[in-house]
Structure 1
Amino acid sequence: MRTRYIRPSWRKICAGAVLAALTWTSAQAGTPTPFAPPTNADLVLYRDAILIDGTGAPARPHMDVLVSGERILSVFSDATRPAETKAKVVDLHGKYLMPGLIDSHVHLATPPNRRQAEAMLRRDLYGGVTAVRDMADDLRAIGDIARASRVGEIAASDVYYAALMAGPDFFNDPRTAQTTAGGEPGQVPWMQAVTDQTDLPLAVARAAGTSATAIKLYADLDSVLAGRITAEAHRQHLLVWSHATLYPAKPSEVVTAGVDAISHACLLVRETDPQAPQWAQPRHPVDLDTFRAGDNPVLARLFAVMVARGTILDATVWTYGAAPPAGPSSTPPLKPGSCDDVVGGAITRQAYRAGVQISAGTDNVAPATDPWPDLFHELSALVDRAGAPPSAVIRSATLVGARAAGQERDMGSLEPGKLANMIVLSKDPLASIDNLKTVVMTVKRGRVFTRDDFVPLREDDITDF
C-alpha cells in the first residue's frame, strides 16, 4: 500500500512554530526560583567541622561532609580527605555542624494568611529549621506554600502536612469555618466529618488527593473508628497523627488503634479516667498532683506500650505555659487548675525516661519581632521543664522529628544519601541548648542561607502577626 505524503501548509508550520515558542517561553519563564536547590553537578565540601549527627551519638571533631547538589554524598574524617578535590571548600574549623531542625507541630493557615506564613517559615529557615510538620489547616493554602518552598520560590522550611478527620460534633468549632471558607466544614477533602457509616476508603483517598503526608485525628472519635481510619490510612500509605485524647477515645486506646504519633503531653492526663468524656460533654477536673513527680503508674503502662509500638509523642510543652505568647492558632488560655507546662513537662520527663520517642513541636507562635524560630521555645522547655539533656532534645528536633513527619529516609541525621539539610553553629549546642542561637548558616537541600542575611520584622511592618 502506497503512503501518500501531504505537505503541510506554510500557515500551519508558522502556527506550530509560534505555539512551540510560546510553550517554551512559558516553561522557561515561570515564577522565579531564587532559592532553588543547586544542581547535582555542584560539589561542596564542608570541611573540618565538629559533627553532631542527630542520632544522639557524641560529637566527632575534624569531620567532613561532601555534598553533591541537594544531597550528602559522603561523611568522613578530615584526616582521610583527598589532597585535591574539585569541590568548593567551606572551612568549618572550630564550628559545629548538625542536621537541620524540624518543628513537629505548626499551623500555618488557620486562617490562611500567606504573608504571615511566609514570614514564619523564613524566620524558621534562617534560624536553622529546615522542615516543619503542619498539623491540619486550609490545605489549599498549605499546598501552595509547600510547593513554593520546595521549588525555591520562597526562602522557607519544607512543609509536610496532614488532612484532618474528626467526628461531626467537632465541626462546630469556629476554626473549621476559617479553614474551609467557600466549602462546608466537614465536607471538604482536607477536613472531613466521619462516622461509622463513612466510606473510609473513599474518605482517605480524598485526603490523599490533597498531597497530604498523613491523616490527623482530632476529636469526637471512639477507639473502634480511630482504629478503622488508621488501618485504611496505612493501607493507602498515609501516616496517622492524632491528638492524644480523642474524646471519647483515651490515650491508650489511641495508641492501640495504631497511630504513628500522638500530640500534647497534657492530653495524657485523661489516661487515668475510667472513661474519657465525649467531645461535647463538660470536662471534669483531673487530679494533676498525681503527675507532678513524673512517676505516674498509669502513664508508665502507657509509655511501655508506646515504646513497644514505636509511637512518637509530640509533647508541645511550651504551648501549655502559664502565659503563652499570642498567635493566630495558639492554644486558647487554660482555665485555672488546668494542665500547664510544669505538669506537661513532668509527663514528658517520665516519657523520656521510659524510652518514648519525643518529637519537638510548638503549636504556638511567638511575636513577629522575635528573631528566632518558635521551636527554640519548645527546645528550652524540654530542657527546663522535662529535664532532658541537650543531646536528647537535639535528637527530638532532628531524627525523631523526621520520623514523625515520615521523612527519615531523607532527613534528620547527617548520612550519605540524605538531603543536605544542615546547620553551622559557632558554639556547642550539647553544652547548652541556647547555643543554637549561634547559627552561622543554614543549608537546606544544599542551598546556603547565611544568618547575616536575615532581617527580623519590625513592629511597624505588621498589623497582626
Structure 2
Amino acid sequence: MVRVEANRRDFLRWLATAGAGLAAAGIAPALFAQEAAAAGTDVVVVLGATVVDGTDAPARPNSAVVLVGDRIAWVGPAAELPHHAGARIVDGRGRYLIPGLWDMHTHGIDYEKLWPPLFLANGVTGIREMQGYDENRATRDKIVRGELLGPRVVLASSILDGPVSLLGPPITQVATPEEGRAAVRTAVEQGSDFVKVYFYLPKDVFLAIADECRRVGLPFAGHWPYRLRQVEAARAGQRTFEHLFGLSIATSRRRDEFLARLDATPFDPDAKRDFFNLARDLDRQAAQTYDPATAERHFAQLKALDNWVSPTFTVNRVMSSPTETYAHDPRLKYVSQDIVDYWADRLPMFTPATAEQIDQQNAYFEAQLRLVGAAHRAGLGVLGGTDCLNPYVFPGFSLHDELGYLVQAGLSPRQALQTVTRDAARFLGRSATAGTITPGKVADVVLLDANPLTDIRAVRRIDTVVTAGRVLDRARLTRMLADAETAAKQPLASANSRSVGLPVRGCC
C-alpha cells in the first residue's frame, strides 16, 4: 500500500508539470495535483482508446485520458504517459471514448430505482428534467450530495400554463401578469435552473413571465405559446421550442392563414383539448406546404436570437404510430406495470387508427425530419432529447433512438453526437466545465466497443461509463440493469420512494 501511494504521488507530480490543458482551463496544475494528493483522490486512466472528444477535431487513436476525482486532468497520446502504478486502468484498446451524453428533455428522475440506473447504464450522465416538483427536486439533491447514483440534473420549474390547461397538478396555472411574476419568484426560491412555459399562457402573462425571468436572471424554455409568434416569444427570451410544435406552421407558405385561424379560436375551458387538436392538425397540413424562403427567414431570426430547437423525435415517432406498435418492446421489462398501464390508457388519444391517418402521420414525421435537417443546415441550434416517461419512451435507451433519428434528419453521426455533448453543454452555459473530453472538465465519459462516427448505433455498445469520476464497468452496468428490471416488477410505490405518481399528461 505504501508503494502504491508513493507511485500515485509520483504520477500526480508528473501531472503538475504536464498539465498544460488544466492551465488552459484556468486550473493551476501544481495546486490541483497537491490537493488531489492530499485528499487521496482516485486516479483513473483510460488507456489506448480512440478519443472522439466532442469537438470537430479528428478522432485520436491510441490515446490516454487521466481522470482525477471529478475532473479530466490530462488527454494525450498513450505513449507519452509515464508509469502509472497506483491508478485504476480502464482498458480502452480497440474502443472509442466519447463525452458523457445528455438527454435534453426528460421526465421521471424521481423514479429512483428505475430511471437513474437506466440513464447511466446507457451512457446518459446528464439530463434536463422538464418539470419541477418537490419529489424530483429531492432526488436531484440526493444525487448532488452523493446519496444516490444518477446523472447530473438540470431541473425546470413547475410548468407554468394559463387558467385553461391540458395539464393538471403539479403544474402552476397563472391567469394574470402578477401571478406569472410570482411563479417565477417561486421558481427561484425552489432552486430551479430554468422556468418551463406551456401552450395556453395568455400573451400578457407570458410577457410578464419573460420580463421577470430577465429581472431575476433565470432562463426560460418550453412549448410554443400559441398566443405569440415563435419569433416574438424568442425575442422575449424563450430559449427553446420543444417537440417542433409550430415550426411547420412558421415555415409554411400558408403560415398567415394558419396563424389567423389559431388567433381567432378561443381556449375553451369546457373542451380543453380542442385547441391543441386544431393546432396539431394545422401543423400537419403546414408540414406539406413547406416554403424554403419562409423557412430561411424564420431560421435566421431564431438563430440571431440564440433560440434552439429540441425535436424529441422519439416521442413524435411513437405518437405518429398505431397504438400497438410498441406493445411488445423488450425494454418494457425495465418499466413498472403501473406506468405501462398508464401508457396504454393515454396513447390512443394521440395515435392514428385508420389507414389514412397512419399515412398522414408517417408523412408528417418524415416532413419533421426534413425540417430539422434544414434548420440544422441553416445554423439553428439542435438539442437531442427524448421526452421519456411519455408512452414507450425509455430513459437512456431512447436517447440512442433519438440520435438515430437525428442522423436520418441529415446530421452526420458526429453532429448528432454533438447535440447531446458539446452543444448541450453550450446551451446550458456549461461549455467551460462539460461537453467535451478536455482537461479541466468534469469526468463524465463513455467507452464504446465500436466507432460512433461511422455508425451512430455504436452508442448502444457500451463497455464502461464514468460519471463524476466513478467507474461503472460492464459488470456493474449489467447489475444495474438487472436491479432495475427487478424493481420494475414491484408495485410502483415500492419501486420508488419519491414519486408524485404520474404527473406527466401527454407531451410536456
Shared fold, TM over 0.5: yes
TM-score (normalised: structure 2): 0.72
CA distance in 2, matches of 1:123, 1:84: 33
Q: Give percent identity, aligned residues only.
A: 25
- Residue 161 of structure 1 pairs with residue 178 of structure 2: no
User: Contact 2:161/2:197 (CA < 8 Å) preserved in 1?
Assistant: no
Kindly indicate whether residue 217 of structure 2 is the aligned counterpart of residue 237 of structure 1: yes
Q: For each residue in 1:89-141, what CA deviation from the matched residue of structure 2 results, as whole angstroms up to 9, or x when unmatched?
A: 333122111111100111117xxxx4x4531221110110001111114x101
Distance 1:370 1:216 in 2: 22
Matched position secondary structure for 1:265:
coil
| Separation in 2, partners of 1:133, 1:381 | 19
1:392 aligned partner = 415
Q: Give, as a single letter, the amino acid of the residue that structure 1 aligns with 2:458.
A: N
Distance 1:52 1:149 in 2: 27
- Please state whether the residue corresponding to 1:176 is helix, strand or coil: coil
Q: Given the alignment of the two structures, is residue 408 of structure 1 paired with residue 431 of structure 2, yes or no?
A: yes
Q: Is the 8 A contact 1:290 1:296 kept in 2?
A: no
- The question of 1:333 aligning with 2:356 is answered no
Residue number in structure 2 paired with 1:346 = 370
**Alignment-derived partner of residue 461 in structure 1:** 489
Letter of the structure 2 residue corresponding to residue 169 of structure 1: P
CA shift for structure 1 position 253: 1.8
Q: Indicate if the aligned counterparts of 2:288 and 2:367 stay in contact, CA closer than 8 A.
A: yes
1:286 to 267, 282, 288: 282
Partner of 2:259: 274
- What corresponds to 1:143 in structure 2? 137
Query: What number of residue pairs does the alignment pair up?
Result: 405
Counterpart AA for 1:210? Q
The CA distance in 2 between the partners of 1:144 and 1:298, in whole Å, is 45
Hey, what does 1:265 align to over in structure 2?
244
| Pair 1:204-2:184 in alignment | yes
User: Any idea what SS the aligned residue of 1:44 has?
Assistant: strand
Deviation, structure 1 residue 248: 1.2
Tell me the residue number matched to 1:68.
68
Tell me: CA distance 1:369–1:219, structure 2 relative to 1, closer, same or farther (3 Å): closer
| Distance in 1 of aligned mates of 2:205 and 2:491 | 43
Structure 1 stretches (4+) deviating beyond 6 angstroms?
366-371
Aligned positions of 1:5-24 closer than 5 A: none
Give 3-state SS (helix, strand or coil) of 1:118's partner.
coil
The AA in structure 1 aligned to 2:190 is T
Which of 200, 206, 226 lines up with 1:247 in the alignment?
A: 226
- With normalisation by structure 1, the TM-score equals 0.78
Would you say 1:127 and 2:122 are equivalent positions?
yes
Q: C-alpha separation between the residues in 2 aligned to 1:462 and 1:296?
A: 52
Distance of 1:136 and 1:357 partners within structure 2: 22
Specify which of 301, 305, 309 is matched with residue 313 of structure 1. Answer: 309
Question: Measured at CA, do residues 343 and 154 of structure 1 come closer, stay the same or move farther in structure 2, by a change above 3 Å?
Answer: same
> 1:158-214 deviations in whole A, cap 9, x for unaligned?
22111135343344x3x422x2xxxxx6xxxxx3515234372x4322111111100
Aligned residue in 1 for 2:90: 90
**Cα deviation, residue 458, structure 1:** 5.9
Partner of 1:303: 299
Following the alignment from structure 1 to structure 2, what is the Cα–Cα distance between the partners of residues 231 and 403?
23
Q: Distance in 2 between matches of 1:366 and 1:192?
A: 22
Distance 1:286 1:368 in 2: 25
1:265 aligned partner, one-letter code = L
What is the RMSD computed on CA atoms of the aligned residues?
3.1
Give the counterpart letter for 1:131 in structure 2: G
Q: Secondary structure at the match of 1:198?
A: helix
* Aligned CA distance change for structure 1 residues 447 and 294 (closer, same or farther; 3 Å): farther
User: Superposed, which structure 2 residues align to 1:169-248 within 5 Å?
Assistant: 169-171=163-165, 173=166, 175-177=167-169, 179=170, 191-198=172-179, 200=181, 202-222=182-202, 225-243=205-223, 245-248=224-227
SS at match of 1:424: strand
CA distance in 2, matches of 1:426, 1:159: 27
Match of 1:419 among 433, 439, 442: 442
Partner of 1:55: helix, strand, or coil?
coil
Residue in structure 2 matching 1:445, options 462, 468, 475: 468
How far apart, in 2, do the equivalents of 1:292 and 1:417 lie?
47
Q: Does 1:54 align with 2:54?
A: yes
Distance 1:204 1:63, change over 3 A: same
Pairwise CA distance, 1:404: 3.7
Q: Which protein is richer in helix relative to its size? A: 2
Q: 1:396 to 1:460 in 2, by over 3 A?
A: closer
Give the Cα separation in 1 of the matches to 2:390 and 2:58: 32
